[in-house]
Amino acid sequence: MRAHVPSYELVSPSGLSEVLDVLASKPGVWKPFAGGTDLMVLLESGKLPHKNYLNIWNLGELRGIEVTDAEVTLGSLTTYTEIQSHALLREEFPMLCQAASETGGLAIQNRGTLGGNIVNASPAADSPPALLAYDAELELVSATGARRVAYQGFHTGYKQMTIRPDELLARIFLPRVSKDLRQYYRKVGTRKAQAISKTCFAATARMESEIVADVRIALGSVAPVPLRCLKTEAIVRGVRIDHDVIQRAKNEFAGEITPIDDIRSTRNYRLRVSLNLLDDFLRQLRPA
């Protein structure tokens, strides 16, 4: 069943300040709308519940990729195609580029945005695990000002976030990555392309000699939110990786993730694959 299009309202403000004024005047009534790659699916199936949308696709204030010595800033309307084509992102943030390349097909990559992938708040989204592993931060803007928050903790429950109804995600910040950072990204789906993930695993590690000086482990599709596995990280951080450490990490990890049975996969499959990916990542950190 398709939606009745005239029952929806879409307006196109001329600039960011106008968008923020509308959001402030009627919090929760109007929702920003950019690439629409997720919303169009719901619209076509007659399952799009919200009725009022603000078209922000043409807002130049939310576009562009800026690089400084300390960080990379991506406008929230940065598309997956733009991510893949940026030379520095390919060099320093290959996990994000891989996530972008494995999200949908070329049409979705040309239209879908990084900000939309975040605020759509799907636990199965491809970019959030990479962003968590990179320690990303977000800039949320409103008519009263801007605030910068850690991406870790931004998702508080299924489709729930710390963004207010009058706020808009404007930018994503990534701390610059050193060349010696180990990076590991795997998406497991039903097929190689245009598949929603059964599990998505992203991890980084910085080694000092044979010791794991720091580590980040993040997953998608195994919890109600994109998940950072802090307890598992604590077991691995500051030690030399051996068989015992790997086993203790896997035991802790199995309790941190909460995969479910759904139309795409089963709990047991997601658990087994996620454990195998953790095992593979940690084995790559073992001394030669």
Number of domains in the chain: 3
Q: What distance in Å separates the CA atoms of residue 233 and residue 106, rounded to the nearest whole number?
A: 35
Let me know whether 121 and 72 are in one domain. yes
Let me know whether 73 and 171 are in one domain. yes
Let me know whether 205 and 168 are in one domain. no
Specify the DSSP element, H or E, that contains 168.
Answer: strand 168-175
The four Cα atoms 189, 192, 195, 201 give a dihedral, to 10 degrees, of 40
Q: What is the CATH number of the domain that holds 104?
A: 3.30.465.10
* Domain extent for 243: 182-283
Domain boundary among 135, 150, 175: 175
Residue 115 phi, psi (nearest 5): -60, -40
Give pTM, 2 decimals.
0.94
Q: Which residues contact 266 (CB under 8 A, 6 or more apart)?
A: none
Domain boundary among 175, 207, 229: 175
Domain-embedded: residue 288: no
Q: Which residues of 208-246 are buried (b: 16+ CB within 10 A; e: fewer)?
A: eeeebeebbbbbbbbbebbbbbeebbebbbeeebeeebb
Let me know whether 171 and 86 are in one domain. yes
- Amino acid occupying residue 57: W
* Residues 194-219: tens digit of each pLDDT: 667 889 999 999 999 999 999 999 99
CB contact at 8 A, 253 and 278: yes
* Residues 41-93: tens digit of each pLDDT: 777 777 788 889 999 999 999 999 999 999 999 999 999 999 999 999 999 99
Average pLDDT over residues 18-29: 95
- Residue 259 has a CB neighbour count (10 Å cut-off) of 22
Let me know whether 154 and 193 are in one domain. no
Average pLDDT over residues 118-143: 96
